[in-house]
Amino acid sequence: QVQLQQWGAGLLKPSETLSLTCAVYGGSFSEYYWNWIRQPPGKGLEWIGEINHSGSTNYNPSLKSRVTMSVDTSKKQFSLKLTSVTAADTAVYYCARVSYSSDWVYYYMDVWGKGTTVTVSS
Amino acid sequence: SELTQDPAVSVALGRTVRITCQGDSLRRYYASWHQQKPGQAPVLVIYGQNNRPSGIPDRFSGSTSGNTASLTITGAQAEDEADYYCVSRDSSGNHVVFGGGTKLTVL
């Protein structure tokens, strides 16, 4: 059974860089896309971006200037960095595995991490 | 958001409820549906044309017509009370977009 275990700093000051990592246990790493998603307190889910095993990325246009995702295939891990954080970046951050078809017609997050609460406060 | 959901829907215990998701991208890309209970990570309940992951009860079903995807719960149970989110590629195909979510109350 595939599991995603995520970790990273939970308390940041404004202007710092958020850094999270998600490790994949079980299953293939190369056959999927890997996503980061966040959820501000009391609000809905927001897609941050996606990455595959070769490092190909797509980012949410609203966050693109501050987001970098990377992969370490040897460790089956992928990471998120978000620079210049503000209080608006306070959220639960989730990593997720994505199954997909080559034309994107089928695209779904079938395994989720438990989430990491990140608070930005001075 | 490019995917529009009703903020809240209610259903009587044991009755059928439909939760909808509208967006132009759904004419090309299938939506998937995720259930989220308070304090928990989302869980995939429907993907593709009408597919359920292992362990999801068969009272959950999905369909798409034109620009609208629907999640139907036939015989809603108390444990189905949750937030439901649809998600798919956006109209450009280059990004992913979530609907705003629907809070389902089972009366």
Report pLDDT digits (tens) over A26-40.
999 999 999 999 999
Residue B60 and residue A91: Cα distance in Å, rounded?
29
- Give the residue on A whose Cα is nearest the Cα of B45: A110
Question: Which has the closest alpha carbon to B97: B28, B19, B18?
Answer: B28
B68-73 and A67-72 strand pairing: unpaired
Mean pLDDT of chain A: 97
Structure confidence by residue, pLDDT tens digits, B69-100:
999 999 999 999 999 999 999 999 999 999 99
Q: Which of A50, A105, A113 sits opposite B41 (nearest CB)?
A: A113
Q: Is the pLDDT of residue A119 over 80?
A: yes
Asked if A115's CB is within 8 angstroms of B53's CB, the reply is no
Tell me the pLDDT band of B1, cut-offs 50, 70 and 90. Answer: low
Q: What is the mean pLDDT of residues A89-116?
A: 96
Q: Does B101 touch chain A (CB under 8 A)?
A: yes
Considering only CB atoms, which chain A residues are within 8 Å of B89?
104, 107
Structure confidence by residue, pLDDT tens digits, B7-39:
999 999 999 999 999 999 999 999 999 999 999
Task: Write down the pLDDT at residue A51.
Answer: 98
B100 half-sphere exposure, CB direction, 13 A CA radius: 9
Q: Which of residues 48-87 of A touch B (CB under 8 A)?
A: 50, 58-61
Residue A3 and residue A24: Cα distance in Å, rounded?
6
